[in-house]
Every structure is written in C-alpha cells, then in structure tokens.
Amino acid sequence: MSGLKNVFPHKMDLNQLIFKIGEVSKMVNVSTRQLRYWEQKGYIESIRDDNSSSRVFNMENLNRVNLIKYYLDEGMTLNGAHVATEEKIAKMRQIRLFMMHAFQDVETIDGKPAVNLGYFDKNKESILYGIIDEQDIEYRVVEKKEEK
C-alpha cells in the first residue's frame, strides 16, 4: 500500500457535486451568457436536469470554467484560454498521478515536517524525503531501517 489515497482517503465522487448555471456564474464571476456560449463552442460541458431543461455543471466543468476565466483575465483570447485550460488540466492529471504514487506520508525529521516521497533507489534501501523548512524544501535521502 502506498500513495495519497492512504493518507487522504476519499470515496466521494466529486463530479456528483453539481451546480446550476447561476451558481457557477456567481462563483467564478462570469456571465450566464458566457457559460452558454462556451458550451456551444464545446469548451465546457453541462448536463441537463431530467425534468427541467436547466443546465447543471459538475466539478470537472466548474474547474474548466474557472481556468478559462483565469486565462481570459490574463489577456488571452477565448480560444487561447480554452487551449491553455486543456493543457493545464492534462498537467494536473499528471501531477495527481505522481502524487498518488510517490507521496507516502508526512513524517518528522529534525523536528520538521518531512514528506516521504518513496524509495529513492531500485533496491528499495533508501527513501527520499522533502523536509519542509518554512518556505524552503530540503531534500534528503535516508537509509531505510531494517524491518524484522
């Protein structure tokens, strides 16, 4: 067993958390007109509530809206913001994968929080730690203690 899932166990499906267009509009500060337009362009996606024909957005798309808005404010064009958003999401997926497998636990070394990043060598004899000191991080390879 290893990885983030053991430290931050979550069984919730965050995409079950949905928001109406007005809520997204207020949260991210974009107009409902923009949200409908972005969806029409295929930049974001919504699901239609069964009975009503109202749009609802899941967390994944709320994240997209947030990123597109960010890049627009940075001065990018809508299409540029869309491209940048998808690239960012791709990177975020890689970061999650990395963290899920590399991150082991937060321990203590020299009285400081030390992030156990897993085995440093192929033979699994030493472990890489990222020791947190205020804003800085000191990396250190520590010989693994022999287990009985």
Q: Return the residue of 36, 88, 101, 140 that touches DNA, per CB under 7 A.
A: 36
DSSP state string for the chain = --SHHHHS-----GGG-EEEHHHHHHHHT--HHHHHHHHHTTSS--EE-SSS--EEEEHHHHHHHHHHHHHHHTT--HHHHHHHHHHHHHHHHHHHHHHHHH--EEEEETTEEEEEEEESSTTS-EEEEEEEETTEEEEEEEEPPPP-
CB 90, min distance to DNA, A:
22
CB of residue 142 to DNA, shortest distance in Å: 51
Contact status: 42 vs DNA (CB under 7 A): no
CB of 25 to DNA, least distance (A): 7
Could you say which of 37, 96, 97, 125 contacts DNA (CB under 7 A)?
37
Question: Contact residues for DNA (CB under 7 A)?
Answer: 20-23, 25, 31-34, 36-38, 46, 53-55, 72, 78
